[in-house]
Amino acid sequence: MPDTYVLVHGAWHTGAEMEATATHLRARGHTVHCPTLAGNNPSDNRAATGLADAVDSLAAFIDSQGLTDVRLVGHSYGGMVITGVADRIPERIKRLVYLDAFVPVDGESVMTIRKAGALPIEKMTKDGFIIPGWVRPGQSFPKDVPHPLKTFTDPIVLKNPAAAKVPATYILTVDKGKRPEDDDFYPSAERAKARGWPVIIMEGDHVVNWRQPEATAALLLGLP
């Protein structure tokens, strides 16, 4: 039976970065959406966008499309957003998939949950945006965009106990030759494991969704 997937991008990205993986899922007959979250669309009032706005935008998209039994996949920062959406509308979600993504608890933000020594966000901020050195004009695809700081500093609000009943899977991507324990997202994978979720280790860098789209789609298709 065909499934419905919603693929949620990470920080500095838009829905376009998920399209390579989506292509392989669609080729197998599945319905796939790749929305761009509030704060990452150039037409938004982006510097003022917080985490709740990004969560609202994704929940509203699912509602506006009338989607149910959704396989909701969040990459990196997208893990924060899909967690918030599952708290809002757990009845619409068939499975959560965290693709090298944050797994927050109530009151945490990206800034408090990230692994110590990870990307020095504080040194990359300007005028309410996080702008790493790789975000620059004239890029070829994947074309990154400045990311609103508030989505990283705002704590997530989780209040719905029904969200804990939504099945979930964690995919940890680990660079070739690197130990999983040394990966920035290993603590999130360990949190997932402690919750009894299946944890899958995939060899690859952090952005397998565009560098290894066929393999990423195959993993998603193999989940229950």
User: What's the maximum distance between 2 C-alpha atoms anywhere in the chain?
Assistant: 48
Burial of 138: CB neighbours in 10 Å, binned 0-12, 13-18, 19+: exposed
> How many domains, the chain?
1
Residue with tokens 């376009």, as numbered in its chain: 16
pLDDT in tens, 87-115: 999 999 999 999 999 999 999 999 999 87
Helices (H) and strands (E) in the chain, counts: 8, 9
47 or 142: which leads in pLDDT: 47
Structural domain for 32, as ranges: 4-221
Sequence letter at residue 98: Y
Residue with tokens 């945490």, as numbered in its chain: 108
In sequence order, what are the residues at sequence separation of 6 or more whose Cβ sits closer than 8 angstroms to the Cβ of residue 118? Answer: 184
- CATH code, 201: 3.40.50.1820
Q: In what order do the strands lie in the sheet with 125-126?
A: 125-126, 129-130, 147-148
- pTM, 2 dp: 0.95
- Strand 93-99 and strand 168-174: the pairing is parallel
Report d(CA 166, CA 8) in Å as an integer. Answer: 17
Q: Which two tokens stand for residue 145?
A: 């965009």
Report d(CA 186, CA 168) in Å as an integer. Answer: 16
Residue 159 in contact with residue 86, Cβ under 8 Å?
no
* Confidence band, pLDDT 50/70/90 cuts, at residue 169: very high
A 10 A CB-CB count for 15 gives: 19
The continuous run of DSSP H or E covering 209 comes out as helix 208-211
Q: Which of the following is catalytic: 76, 109, 140, 188? A: 76
* Confidence band, pLDDT 50/70/90 cuts, at residue 216: very high
* Confidence band, pLDDT 50/70/90 cuts, at residue 138: low
Burial of 184: CB neighbours in 10 Å, binned 0-12, 13-18, 19+: middle
Residue with tokens 């193999």, as numbered in its chain: 222
183 or 44: which leads in pLDDT: 183
Q: What is the pLDDT of residue 106?
A: 98
Give yes or no: 109 in active site: no
Residue 155 in contact with residue 107, Cβ under 8 Å?
yes
Q: Is the pLDDT of residue 135 over 80?
A: no
Q: Is the pLDDT of residue 141 over 60?
A: no
8 or 43: which leads in pLDDT: 8
